[in-house]
Amino acid sequence: MLKKKIQDLMTEPGCATNQAKSASERKKGCGKQLVPGAAAGGCAFDGAKIALQPITDVVHLVHGPIACEGNSWDTRNTGTTGPELYRRGFTTDLSNMDIINGGEKKLYKAIRRVIDKHHPPAVFVYQTCVSALIGDDIVAVCRAATERMGTPVIPVEAPGFVGSKNLGNRLAGEALIDYVIGTREPTDAGPTDINILGEYNVAGEMDLVRDLLARLGIRLRTAITGDARYNDVAAAHTARANMVVCSQALVTLARKMKERWGIPFFEGSFYGISDTSEALRAIAGMLVERGADAALLTRTETLIAEEEAKTWAAMEPYKARLAGKRVLLYTGGVKSWSVIHALQEMGMEVVGTSVRKSTEADKEKALDRLGGDEDKLVDAIAPKDMYQMFKDGRADIMLSGGRSQFVALKAKTPWLDINQERHHQYAGYDGMLELVRQIDLALSNPIWSQIRKPAPWEIEE
Ligand code: SF4
């Protein structure tokens, strides 16, 4: 069954990359051969955990050796406005004897123990390589535990060896559609309820989005899964529209929700000023089409006009300081294009944007914003080439994830984290202002002029 599920996910019809392929290419699926010597990145289990761990009030129980939990625990800075249970690490810690005798009983006991101790609304049980290879049937154990203990116990079948982190994200979506979404009928479903899929509340930035939506009278039923509560995810099928913010990860879930419950979806982003406005317009339009009061459209335009004017005015003082600075964007997905416009408005030049992890649609948008200059769409840059780029002064700052920071720092070049480990909120209008402020802080940090000076022993007497 898992094999069939993976095959289906690889040929997802709702995926823009797949749509752009020929029929025969599509059939081959989207799995990529690893380049020998390259690090494989996160495993499928890691991806599933990343996608589900932001559900804050449940127990996330890893069925495997303790190292799997250690590998994935708290790797993202996802925030909560309430429960803290999701931050605890739970594992069955399989040992040699469990591998010989099987780990199902141990898993069952662990589920009983966490339910007795923490009384969560649900337990998510994660399969790992070891428990899958020894043949532990986590689906059967979870079913038995659910029946006997009366608490939903959700199997997440994404052992590490089945594929990449991205595949794990998608398998997490499958667990939600198979076992969670649609299992609770809320009494308060309304005509302006929406879900946001693929949003993980990094640095707690959902607060900024929730506030904008609340001002329009739109209720976020749940994000899947940032700062989510189990019961809200279980009732996600009652929302009137879905917004997908990370298309590669949960587009299958969005498509299935559309097929099963008729919930329309669109892909959008809350990174960047114009993209935030477009997202709000699209949400309002969809809700009105599905029966919400048409006055929502006017309210949305008023809010957009107010917020855009306020944000551009607040960004004005930074213009003089940032104009002419050259930025290398080394990220992926929506961020490869969504912040370009705001940076350009500040007078900054984007010298390149990485599209390694982007869909065809992402690439097109990036190209459009870069004036059609294909040379600025970069794939992976080898560290030595990146280092040389900074040494030659071809970029003044790099915006990227933590992994590539050391190349910039070694070249004595400012760097700003805009990926999942960041500690600042960059979503929505206020988030964009914060991004510009952080770029300014990074560029004007006095450390750069100090470390670029020759060391005392390098100065000739
Ligand atoms: S690859 Fe397998 S053993 Fe390694 S962390 Fe992932 S699930 Fe655990």
Q: How would you write the pLDDT of the chain (461 residues) with one tens digit per residue?
A: 777 777 777 776 666 666 666 666 665 555 555 555 554 567 899 999 999 999 999 999 999 999 998 876 666 788 999 999 999 999 999 999 999 999 999 999 999 999 999 999 999 999 999 999 999 999 999 999 999 999 999 999 999 999 888 889 999 999 999 999 999 999 999 999 999 999 999 899 999 999 999 999 999 999 999 999 999 999 999 999 999 986 567 889 999 999 999 999 998 889 889 889 999 999 999 999 999 999 999 999 999 999 999 999 999 999 899 999 999 998 877 777 778 877 888 889 999 988 876 777 778 888 888 888 888 888 888 889 999 999 999 999 999 888 788 999 999 999 999 887 788 999 999 999 999 999 999 999 999 999 999 888 888 76
DSSP code for 179: I
Distance 127 CA to ligand 1 centre (A): 9
pTM: 0.88
Hey, whose CA ends up nearest to atom 1 of ligand 1? Answer: 160
Provide the strand spans (E) within 200-302: 219-225, 241-244, 265-267
Beta pairing partners, 197 = 224, 244
Nearest to 273 by CA among 423, 396, 441, 436: 436
SS (H, E, C) 99-134: HHHCCHHHHHHHHHHHHHHHCCCCEEEEECHHHHHC
* Whether the bond into 225 is cis, omega within 30 of 0: yes
Cβ(155) – ligand 1 distance below 6 Å: no
Cβ(132) – ligand 1 distance below 6 Å: no
Distance 96 CA to ligand 1 centre (A): 16
**What is the position in ligand 1's atom list of the atom closest to the CA of 129?**
2
Cβ(282) – ligand 1 distance below 6 Å: no
Q: Residue 233 burial by CB count (10 A; 0-12/13-18/19+): exposed, middle or buried?
A: buried
Reduce the DSSP state of residue 16 to 3 states and report it. Answer: helix
pLDDT of residue 95: 94
Reduce the DSSP state of residue 353 to 3 states and report it. Answer: strand
Strand order in the sheet with 349-354: 377-378, 349-354, 326-330, 397-400, 415-417
Distance 3 CA to ligand 1 centre (A): 18
Cβ(297) – ligand 1 distance below 6 Å: no
Q: Report the distance separating Cα 404 and Cα 420, nearest Å.
A: 13
Hey, whose CA ends up nearest to atom 6 of ligand 1? Answer: 160
Place of tokens 């079913």: 143
**What is the position in ligand 1's atom list of the atom closest to the CA of 46?**
6
List, in order, residues 6 or more apart from 193 with CB less than 8 Å away: 218, 219, 220, 221, 238, 239, 240
Hey, whose CA ends up nearest to atom 5 of ligand 1? Answer: 68
Hey, whose CA ends up nearest to atom 3 of ligand 1? Answer: 129
pLDDT of residue 418: 86
- The count of C-alpha atoms lying within 13 angstroms of the C-alpha of 331, restricted to the half-sphere facing its C-beta, is 26
Q: Report the distance separating Cα 424 and Cα 417, nearest Å.
A: 9
